Structure 1
Amino acid sequence: MADHLVIRSRHVSTVIRATPAHVYSYAADPDNLPRWAAGLAQSEVRRDGDLLRVESPMGTVTVQFVETNALGVLDHTVTLPNGPSVLNPMRVVEHPDGAEIIFTVRQIQLTDAEFERDCLIVAADLERLANLLGG
């Protein structure tokens, strides 16, 4: 039997006291990324068609979101400076207290410590978004 690498996933989420439509529209607007997604965008977003280029902690990355949709899907592919692309599943769903935003972090070519660090960065970004939109 061949060795099989198991890629761990963790769903990181936060509840936001705002409507799902409001959370989705704010999070989907590339101009807002530097305001809340410091783990991804540390500069203004430069547009190149449907591709976004941003300065990130990893260097200059290219980001491409799925098309705007009514389902709350904010999946996006990040192409890293050294070439690999990573699909990041992200959703905004209805919650009894407003909306819940859920980001799936995958342990792809990361040590356990790097994976834990990435999960903490995503959690901080989502908390920042929640604070901007109503807690």
Structure 2
Amino acid sequence: MSRIITASQEAVYEFASDIGNLPKWAAGLAQSEVVQEGRNLFVESPMGRVRIQFVERNRFGVLDHDVVLPSGTIVTNPMRVLAHPDGAEVIFTVRQIELSDVEFARDIRMVEADLARLAVLVSNPPGVE
């Protein structure tokens, strides 16, 4: 799925790649403060406590990350922030791993909501009129 955001690719990438911002926009993944141990991040999620590891910061807008579920299953989530004529396009691949069709549909709605929150936060940062 994808979402066009009316902000520059750089602004979207900077905000989304800041680990401290994760609970602000990615409620489908992080419902609590992020605990960082090296490159590993730990959060309480709708699935329980999960471990997340993002790729290193890069100039290509790649935000791929692995999520280790409570079951131990690793879900690799491809995510990109690309330049777009209207600002930036965020592309996120949702995978149906260990999910029923109903749970998968719920995950899709959660990712859509997360990307919508990201768009609002980056397009209208607090304190900027």
Same fold (TM > 0.5) = yes
Q: Which runs of 5+ in 2 are unaligned?
A: 125-129
Once the two structures are superposed, residues 27-67 of structure 1 have per-residue CA deviations (whole angstroms, 9 ceiling, x without a partner) of 01110000000000011110100000011111111000001
| 1:58-77 aligned within 5 A | 58-77=47-66
Q: Which runs of 4+ in 1 moved over 3 A?
A: none
| 1:2-81 aligned within 5 A | 12-81=1-70
SS of equivalent to 1:106: coil
Which protein has the larger Cα radius of gyration, Structure 1 or Structure 2? 1
Task: Give distance in 2, aligned partners of 1:49 and 1:108.
Answer: 26
Task: Give distance in 1, aligned partners of 2:100 and 2:36.
Answer: 32
| Equivalent residue, structure 1, for 2:72 | 83
Match of 1:103 among 87, 92, 106: 92
Task: Give distance in 1, aligned partners of 2:13 and 2:22.
Answer: 12
AA aligned opposite 1:72 = G
AA aligned opposite 2:51 = T
Q: Which runs of 5+ in 1 are unaligned?
A: 1-11
Once the two structures are superposed, residues 69-111 of structure 1 have per-residue CA deviations (whole angstroms, 9 ceiling, x without a partner) of 1111000000011211100000000111100101000112322
TM-score (structure 2 length as normaliser): 0.93
CA RMSD of aligned residues (A): 1.0
Number of aligned residue pairs: give it: 124
TM-score (structure 1 length as normaliser): 0.89
Once the two structures are superposed, residues 101-126 of structure 1 have per-residue CA deviations (whole angstroms, 9 ceiling, x without a partner) of 01000112322221111111100000
AA aligned opposite 1:102 = I
